[in-house]
Amino acid sequence: MNVKCNLVTVLLLCCLIFPGNARAFNWQDLVNRKQYTAVIAHADSLTPADSSNYEIMNAIGQAYEGMLRYRKAYDYYRLCLSMDTTNLDILNTLARTATNLGRAKDAERYFHQVLSADSSNFYANYQLARLYFQLGEYEKAVDAYEKLQAQNEDNTALYRAIGDCYTRMEQYPSATTAYFQAYNLNRENAGLAVALVNSMYRMGASSPDYISEGVAICDTALFYNPGNRQLLRSKGLGLYIVKQFIQADSVYSSLLADGDSTYLTLKYGGASKYYAGLYLPSVDVLEMAYEQDTTSVEVCLLLGSALGKTYDRKRAYDLLDKAEAGLEPNRFLVNQLLAFRAETYQKDGKYKEASRLFYEAWKKNPDRLDFLGAIAHMYSAIDVSKYQSEEERQRGLFILILYINESLKKKADERTLVFSRALLRSFYEDMFFRNVSEETMIDPDGKKSKVSIVDLRNLINQLPEISDEVKEIWSRRE
């Protein structure tokens, strides 16, 4: 009896002496058991004294983080930091939560605070590298990962992360080296093998051997991961790239039989059958690929051809027509590309190159009078005597006449025609006083042609007369 009484007395004393610790233990115990809702519910009953208790605030922060409510978690973690500004664990936790909130600068600052106190802190270094990767600062990420790798030579995750950075920078040789180091440490990891093989395929343009080596790596990885779809897809693609269509068909047929209906499996599975000479069997697979993407030129071509070779000529014609339309480039983008290049040449003072591209863009889209206007502006002058060379004058005359004719057709602004008339009149008077009946012109493509003085006079007569206001403007320009 005395023993029991003594035990109860001790327990009561412990509760009286250490009330905060017992309460904190209960909060953390709920977090450890992932009872996040219960923790948050109890948070409503906190006393003012509780808000200065580090363990309780930290437990509530963990509960909110566990429920992905990062903003609330961040607020509680900041309270914890205010109580213990040198605590590296809470600094790392704050940085992690700031990352989840998208507060990259705050996260970086917290990680650097940790590293200023402990430069070898693995968690802070690793998470900082991941943050740089997420921000697209891949060179910084590589530097951070490589510092960790120097201290952890057998860490496959770090090699993989370095490879991912180089892949994003499109530095595939470096990516391949990093992936191979990771794969060499863990040949049973299918994901590493796929990353390595995909990187090698990207290098296949420079050397077909990379493709064959990639297929061999797939076989090794499949030994450890039989039936792995990712590996089988990579192997099938490699065989397709090196035109081993029968073998590729075998791989893709296995995937299809296993229920793989992803678009790339259907596309390359159907294409492999087609190129292996299995035209009729390829139709069903290509049809399924076509249903998923009716815009694919390659699928339209192969499906149309397969149908043409077998049983449906009418649909074959339709599909081949659609493929032909798909091969045509986007007119808007083509013209935009030509115009952008022309503008760049123009800014560089390379008028011949610029005018040739603007002229090509106009021929593709005759409604774009501004393309001709850009050329005319490059070869404009106050009068014919201001041209620097005979060739420049001949180019100026051609584009001036073309621009005026097109402007008249489209009923362009009268002021444009008035100013054009002045220069054209100068050409006419020059021909008249030189007593020549024809003048040579050079178009932006370099082709020569002739214009008669009679044609010039007739064109001038179609243009508005020059007003006194315009004459004053011209006099000021002179």
The encoded tokens of residue 242 equal: 């090196």
- Per-residue pLDDT at 15: 40
Q: What is the pLDDT of residues 317-361, one digit of tens each?
A: 888 888 877 777 766 766 777 787 888 888 888 899 989 988 998
- Per-residue pLDDT at 322: 84
Q: What is the dihedral of CA 234, 237, 241, 247, to 10 degrees?
A: 110
- Per-residue pLDDT at 48: 79
Residue 466 — very low, low, confident or very high, per pLDDT cuts 50/70/90?
low
Domain boundaries, the chain: 333-477
Distance CA 384, CA 395 (A): 12
Block residue for tokens 């953390």: 28
- Per-residue pLDDT at 8: 38
Residue type at 172 in one-letter notation? Y
- Per-residue pLDDT at 46: 83
Residue 471 — very low, low, confident or very high, per pLDDT cuts 50/70/90?
low
Residue 436: left if φ>0, alpha if ψ -120 to 50, beta else—which one?
beta
User: Does 13 have pLDDT greater than 50?
Assistant: no
Q: What is the pLDDT of residues 270-284, one digit of tens each?
A: 999 999 999 999 999
User: Does 117 have pLDDT greater than 90?
Assistant: yes
Which distant-in-sequence residues (6+ apart) come within 8 Å of 284 by Cβ?
none
Distance CA 67, CA 61 (A): 10
Region 460-477: what's the mean pLDDT? 65
**Largest interatomic CA distance in the chain:** 139
**What integer best gives the mean pLDDT of the chain?**
87
411 within 8 A of 398, measured Cβ to Cβ: no
Alpha-helical (H) ranges within 18-155 are 19-32, 36-43, 54-66, 70-83, 88-101, 104-117, 122-134, 138-151
First to last CA, the chain: 122
- Per-residue pLDDT at 380: 85
- Per-residue pLDDT at 422: 82
The encoded tokens of residue 276 equal: 């292996």
User: Does 470 have pLDDT greater than 60?
Assistant: no
User: Does 207 have pLDDT greater than 60?
Assistant: yes
Region 223-252: what's the mean pLDDT? 96
Three-class secondary structure of residue 439 per DSSP: strand
Region 356-367: what's the mean pLDDT? 88
Residue type at 88 in one-letter notation? L
The encoded tokens of residue 175 equal: 């990516």
Say which residue, 97 or 470, is predicted with more confidence.
Answer: 97
Say which residue, 478 or 466, is predicted with more confidence.
Answer: 466
Three-class secondary structure of residue 268 per DSSP: helix
Residue 208 — very low, low, confident or very high, per pLDDT cuts 50/70/90?
confident
Report the predicted TM-score, pTM, of the whole model to 2 decimal places. 0.62
Burial (CB count <10 Å: 0-12, 13-18, 19+), residue 115: middle
Distance CA 19, CA 7 (A): 18
Sign of CA dihedral 454, 456, 459, 461: negative
Residue 365 — very low, low, confident or very high, per pLDDT cuts 50/70/90?
confident
What does CATH list as the number for 333-477?
A: 1.25.40
- Per-residue pLDDT at 297: 86
Q: What is the pLDDT of residues 47-70, one digit of tens each?
A: 777 888 999 999 999 999 999 999
- Per-residue pLDDT at 20: 43
- Per-residue pLDDT at 368: 86
Q: What is the pLDDT of residues 149-203, one digit of tens each?
A: 998 889 999 999 999 999 999 999 999 999 999 999 999 999 999 999 999 999 8
Q: What is the pLDDT of residues 411-434, one digit of tens each?
A: 766 666 777 788 888 898 988 888
